Chains A and B, each alone.
Chain A
Amino acid sequence: MPTALSSVAVPARRRFRLSAETRGIKLMLPVLLLLVLCFLVPVITLLLRSVMEPTPGWQNYAELLGSQTYVRVFFNTFMVAGVVTLITLLVGFPTAWLLAILPQRWSRLMFAVLLLSMWTNLLARTYAWMVLLQQTGLINRVLMALGVIDQPLALVNNLVGVTIGMTYIMLPFLVLPLHATLRAIDPSTLRAAAVCGASRWQSLRLVLLPLALPGIASGALMVFVMSLGYYVTPALLGGTSYMMLAELIAQLVQSLLNWGLAGAAAFVLLVVTLGLYAVQLRYLGAGRSEMGGR
């Protein structure tokens, strides 16, 4: 009897599973439709315009890579992304380390501050830095009162302003995932290093850093990629004198109505961004990003 029963039951179950599989696909249809229609189609159309407007051909790409102005924008973009990544890493690593080992009541406080800063409106934060960093701003006045400087420093509309603003925004994106990596390292490996006679520097260089390297690499890559595509903060703190790629795309569309060139610039940004994310997924595991560039 049991064999007869199971021989009846198996096909029934299989049929149930199959219907569940197709129903699952139906559930995804609304999102799929929305994304194809209002995401995939517009983005591909924009990219196609780069080779179709004003006339079919590669002239937009030639102009983008041949003009001094535009090459300067590329240089600015990679420069800012590189400098911001480096500083974020240098400051963020010790912070993540501390966060990983602090007693819980203190680490909770640090978490709250990190999350608050991360979720505070981007414009509110950027506005605060614009006011803080301006010629008569708090930073310049404090530095002058302390006698560090005689003249107010130019802290906005240049690389310094963008770097401070961007580092501020990127810090939580590095510290939070890196802290998770450090938490996952077994403290006894470092105790073992100490028992075996390693000095602190040796333990840091030969044990902690190599173990944390995947987290460091994926965090740094994420900060770099996000910085490449940022629009709001560079536009407000860098001004027109220090233009980055995202701002160029916006300007080309809004002021110059040059859709072909904008499409070409968007294509370059897209390829670099998705390419670096692919590297991250392929080689650094699932270091999932929190948010696209703003």
Chain B
Amino acid sequence: MLLDYDRLGGWRWGLVAIGSAVMLFLLLPIVFIAALSFGDSQWLVFPPPGWTTQWYQQLLTDPVWVNALLTSAKVAVMVTLLSVVLGLLAALGLARSRFFGKSALQAFFLTPMVLPVVVLAVALYAFFLKLGLTGTLTGFVIGHLIIALPFSIITIGNSLQSFDSALEDAAMICGAGPLEVKWRVTLPAIRLGLFAAAIFSFLISWDEVVLSIFMASPTLQTLPVLIWSTLRQDLTPVIASASTLLVAFTVLLMLLASFLKKGSRQ
């Protein structure tokens, strides 16, 4: 009875009340920040006395913010490409081989996901200081790639698991070469996994704060780093508009992901 929505009786309203409150709690900051970014109060009075787009204008005309935005985009695109390619290779390797210690290797591949990011950030910072890689695009890309890869490997690995490798054998028997098989049979079959891995990787890089704080230099920083350093000084509404842009972008990617998912069901 407790798991039948229609037969819960009075308890149903208790659950609905708690659930609705939680949903409001989850939505409140997101809606609030979007509203705040259009309010004309420098002191973040809410509800604002009037509406304006001046914070967006400030954001998009200030070269510091624009550069940070471009750096974020550059890093995220590179991380996405590398993460999908390397993740695909690793996932294929894991799916198609059997050897002693394979599960240990698999666990090692996924450790960056469970390790506290601050430990990785500090360790990588020390390492890159020696190599002169702090404050470079390469530094950002390597850092983000390490935490994006586990997600790629898992997502692509899952789609490989549901892919029947007998199809590869069949193509091989029909005379296709090994590369042709990969290109024309395997990749199309797991393309949704690849898209999902790409979206995950992009979002992870796009949103990464902790690693980026340690990789950044005054002349090269990503959008989250700039938000972070501005935030430690004051709560200016420009941050609200930058945050809203980040949220809008995330929503777009999520919609894209859900369309892909729907497409795969049909």
Instruction: Tell me the A residues contacting B by CB distance below 8 Å.
Output: 20-28, 30-32, 34-35, 38-43, 45-46, 49, 91-92, 94-95, 97-103, 110, 113-117, 119-125, 127-132, 134, 136-138, 168, 171-172, 175, 182, 185, 187, 190-191, 193-194, 200, 203-204, 207-208, 225, 228-232, 236, 246, 249-250, 253, 259, 262, 266, 269-270, 273-274, 277, 289, 291-294
Contacts of A270 in B (CB 8 A): 115-116, 119
Contacts of B36 in A (CB 8 A): 128, 131
Please give me the 8 A-B residue pairs with the lowest Cβ-Cβ distance, nearest first: A24-B97, A229-B116, A128-B29, A124-B243, A27-B93, A28-B93, A187-B3, A42-B127
User: Are B247 and A120 closer than 8 Å at their CB atoms?
Assistant: yes
Q: A236-B231, A292-B113 are in contact. Are A229 and B209 (CB under 8 A)?
A: no
- Interface status of B192 (Cβ within 8 A of chain A): no
**A-B contacts besides A121-B224, A207-B2, A274-B115, 4 pairs, CB < 8 Å:** A21-B97, A31-B153, A102-B19, A120-B246
Which of A42, A45, A116, A229 is the most central at the interface, judged by chain B CB atoms within 10 Å of its CB? A42
Contacts of B207 in A (CB 8 A): 119, 121-122
Contacts of B224 in A (CB 8 A): 121-123
Contacts of A291 in B (CB 8 A): 113
Q: A35-B108, A42-B127 are in contact. Are A123 and B209 (CB under 8 A)?
A: yes
Instruction: Tell me the B residues contacting A by CB distance below 8 Å.
Output: 1-5, 8-9, 11, 14-16, 18-19, 22-23, 25-30, 32-33, 36, 43-46, 86-87, 89-90, 92-99, 105, 108-109, 111-127, 142, 145-147, 149, 153, 203, 206-207, 209-210, 213, 224, 227-228, 231-232, 235, 239-240, 243-244, 246-247, 250-251, 254
User: Are B243 and A200 closer than 8 Å at their CB atoms?
Assistant: no
Contacts of B90 in A (CB 8 A): 27-28, 30-32
User: Are A185 and B26 closer than 8 Å at their CB atoms?
Assistant: no
- Tell me how many residue pairs across A and B have CB atoms closer than 8 Å: 280
Which of B92, B93, B119 is the most central at the interface, judged by chain A CB atoms within 10 Å of its CB? B119
User: Are A94 and B4 closer than 8 Å at their CB atoms?
Assistant: no
The A interface, classified by DSSP as helix, strand, loop or mixed, is helix
Contacts of A259 in B (CB 8 A): 126
Taking the closest CB of chain B, its distance from the CB of A291, in whole angstroms, is 7
Mind listing 17 A-B residue pairs with CB under 8 Å? A21-B96, A24-B92, A43-B119, A43-B120, A45-B126, A101-B3, A119-B207, A120-B30, A121-B206, A121-B250, A123-B209, A128-B32, A131-B240, A138-B46, A185-B3, A266-B119, A292-B115
Q: A119-B203, A125-B30 are in contact. Are A97 and B119 (CB under 8 A)?
A: no
User: Are A292 and B123 closer than 8 Å at their CB atoms?
Assistant: no
Which of A28, A124, A191, A194 interacts with B105 by CB under 8 Å? A28
User: Are A97 and B15 closer than 8 Å at their CB atoms?
Assistant: yes
CA distance A269 to B127 in the complex (A): 20
User: Are A171 and B22 closer than 8 Å at their CB atoms?
Assistant: yes
CA distance A257 to B250 in the complex (A): 36
User: Are B227 and A253 closer than 8 Å at their CB atoms?
Assistant: no
Taking the closest CB of chain A, its distance from the CB of B21, in whole angstroms, is 8
User: Are B122 and A266 closer than 8 Å at their CB atoms?
Assistant: yes
Contacts of B254 in A (CB 8 A): 115-116, 119
Contacts of B119 in A (CB 8 A): 43, 46, 229, 249, 266, 269-270
Residue of A nearest to B113 (CB): A292
User: Are A131 and B99 closer than 8 Å at their CB atoms?
Assistant: no
Residue of A nearest to B258 (CB): A112
Contacts of B43 in A (CB 8 A): 136
The B interface, classified by DSSP as helix, strand, loop or mixed, is helix
User: Are A127 and B227 closer than 8 Å at their CB atoms?
Assistant: yes
User: Are B247 and A124 closer than 8 Å at their CB atoms?
Assistant: yes
Which of A22, A117, A130 interacts with B231 by CB under 8 Å? A130
CA distance A37 to B7 in the complex (A): 58
Taking the closest CB of chain A, its distance from the CB of B33, in whole angstroms, is 4
User: Are B118 and A229 closer than 8 Å at their CB atoms?
Assistant: yes
CA distance A203 to B11 in the complex (A): 13
User: Are A34 and B145 closer than 8 Å at their CB atoms?
Assistant: yes
Residue of B nearest to A204 (CB): B2
Which of B15, B46, B123 is the most central at the interface, judged by chain A CB atoms within 10 Å of its CB? B123
CA distance A187 to B7 in the complex (A): 11
Q: A94-B19, A273-B115 are in contact. Are A182 and B27 (CB under 8 A)?
A: no
Which of B14, B117, B142, B224 is the most central at the interface, judged by chain A CB atoms within 10 Å of its CB? B117
Residue of A nearest to B253 (CB): A119
CA distance A31 to B87 in the complex (A): 8
CA distance A187 to B126 in the complex (A): 54
User: Are A294 and B117 closer than 8 Å at their CB atoms?
Assistant: yes
Residue of A nearest to B24 (CB): A113
CA distance A94 to B94 in the complex (A): 39
Contacts of A117 in B (CB 8 A): 26-27, 30
User: Are B124 and A30 closer than 8 Å at their CB atoms?
Assistant: no
Contacts of A115 in B (CB 8 A): 254
Contacts of B251 in A (CB 8 A): 116
Contacts of A194 in B (CB 8 A): 1
Q: A25-B97, A25-B99 are in contact. Are A123 and B228 (CB under 8 A)?
A: yes
Taking the closest CB of chain B, its distance from the CB of A132, in whole angstroms, is 6
